[in-house]
Amino acid sequence: MRYLGIDIGSSFIKGAVLDAGGLCLSHIERMDAPPLVTGLNPMFREVDSEAIAQCVRRVLERLHDHAPDAAGVLMCSQLHGMVLCDEKGNVQSRYITWQDQRALMPLPSADSNSFDVIESLISREERQQLGNERVPGLPLNYVFWFARNRALPVTRVIPTALPYFVAAQLCGTTPVSDITHAYGHGALNIHTRDWHHAVIEKLGLGDVQWPRILPQGAVIGEWCHAGRSLPVFAPVGDYHCSQVGALLEPGEMSVNISTGSAVIQIAEGAETGEFQTRPWFDGCYLKTITHIPAGRALNALVRLLSELNTAQGVALRDPWDYIHAQAARADGGGLQVDPAFYTSNMGNRGAVLNLREENMTIGHLFHAMFSGMADNYVSCADRIAPQRDWSRLVFSGGVALKNQVLRQLVCERLGQDHRLAPSDEDTLFGLLVLSLAFTGRTASVREAITFVRDNHPPQT
């Protein structure tokens, strides 16, 4: 059986034919995502929502041409962000991305912002019940901002996760949600696995129509193309999908490193602490710390170092082969780098310390940068599992898979026993694994992961 897989990212909309029989991806398609709308308040990050739906439709059509026998559509997308829709799926707003910062803007006739007001109204216990997700880019924060600014549409609206808006457009259905995207809204009670109605009422958002939460893997509609109707399965968060693609199992500690990064471990129950608690599959949960500086911070350092040649119109080739080679030969030379070059869960005041003439080299600088990143992963892993009871590490994400020096530094701190994710297309590979569970070929997602691991050995 073959299926069509779509990952709706912030930079690209990617797709692939998912071969559930051969356990492989084929015909990978990639299209630039529509750009941010220009001319808005600098705190706003919005994209034309209908343009995103059109891009997804075009990628799906290309994939269907490659696999006319496809038996269904699976999707994943950015966990946070929202489109306001009515019950018929009609657009009431642009797509407000997870990078939007309007929740940090002062409210009318107030000295505080939406984010701080919500923090003051929600108790510590309620924050833990919401999964301890403390970031401005949550739909709950956006809806609160609209309400306080008297900017909600007159019609009753549904805060809709991006792939569920797209699915509503493809299938002509009412927007709904699964548990991963419901969590991503910032308004889910992780213990009841339903909307946290007490918090919603406390924030004055009881008139908002929160989407109906469906079982994972449910069919939410049909997409019609080329004379065929393909069932569309309930989309999942890209964060969750990437860890399915990494074949994460209980007892392992995942270090996912791409544009951002995260440290992740499966928990049987809704454990809480100084970390985020996110619903997983099969009734389980993930203990995690996200928004750890990674690829974005590395790219910022590269931009700084290439500013002079850019100003003179000299284009560098891809610098990463050279950086990796030089970092492998260096030891940091006494340099210390804190990669918190932007607001993250590790602070917002990055630093480069102990610069001396003899250690001002690309090799020393990036070795120290990788060491600083590894130190962050140690700190986060110890918060999630202070007893250090993981069986081995799992590396996933493009930066982790390409950067042997960084992996070595992490292993020196957290244990040498490790493995790599089986594919650098972790989200698309995750959709392939999920297709086994969602279509009943396996009884659970955990069983699907085990089946794929046994029949598709990961990299070593």
In a domain, 443, yes or no: no
- Grouping H, G, I as helix, E, B as strand and the rest as coil, residue 265 is strand
254, 309: one domain:
yes
By three-state DSSP, how is residue 269 classified? coil
End position of a domain, from candidates 189, 218, 238:
238
Whether residues 262 and 227 fall in one domain: no
**In whole angstroms, what is the distance from residue 421 CA to residue 251 CA?**
16
- Output the six-digit token pair for 154: 């007159």
440 found inside a domain: no
pLDDT of residue 277: 98
pLDDT tens column, 64-102: 999 999 999 999 999 899 999 998 889 999 999 998 999
pTM as predicted: 0.93
- How many whole angstroms separate alpha carbon 394 and alpha carbon 256? 8
Residues 143 and 261 in one domain: no
Domain assignment of residue 294, yes or no: yes
Residue 399 lies in a domain: yes
Q: How far apart are CA 289 and CA 283, in angstroms?
A: 20
Q: Last residue of a domain, which of 238, 261, 293?
A: 238
Same domain? For 203 and 259 the reply is no
Q: Which residue range is the domain that position 77 belongs to?
A: 2-238
Q: Measured between alpha carbons, how far is 238 from 88 in angstroms, rounded to an integer?
A: 25
Mark whether 265 and 389 lie in a shared domain: yes
Q: What is the pLDDT of residue 383?
A: 96
* CATH code at position 129: 3.30.420.40
Phi, psi of 362 (to 5 degrees): -60, -45
Are 126 and 98 in the same domain?
Answer: yes
Domain count, the chain: 2
CA pair distance 83, 168, nearest whole angstrom: 11
List of the chain residues with pLDDT < 50: 460
Element (H, E) at 159: strand 158-160
- Whether 264 and 413 share a structural domain: yes
Q: Is residue 459 part of a domain?
A: no
**123 lies in some domain:** yes
User: Looking at this protein, which amino acid is placed at residue 120?
Assistant: S
C-alpha distances out from residue 239 to 76, 257, 258, 311, Å: 9, 11, 11, 37
Is residue 296 in a domain? yes
pLDDT at 348: 86
Q: Name 3's bridge partners.
A: 18
Q: Are residues 79 and 154 in the same domain?
A: yes
pLDDT of residue 182: 97
Task: Kindly state whether residues 319 and 411 are assigned to the same domain.
Answer: yes
Closest CA to 240 of 281, 294, 277, 212: 281
As a whole number of angstroms, the distance between CA 331 and CA 234 comes to 47
Per the domain annotation, does 426 fall within a domain?
no
Is residue 339 located within the same domain as residue 395? Answer: yes
Separation of alpha carbons 34 and 245, rounded Å: 26
Regarding whether 225 and 263 lie in a shared domain, the answer is no
Do 229 and 306 sit in the same domain of this protein? no
CA 191 remoteness from chain centre: 22
- Given 238, 258, 291, the domain boundary residue is 238
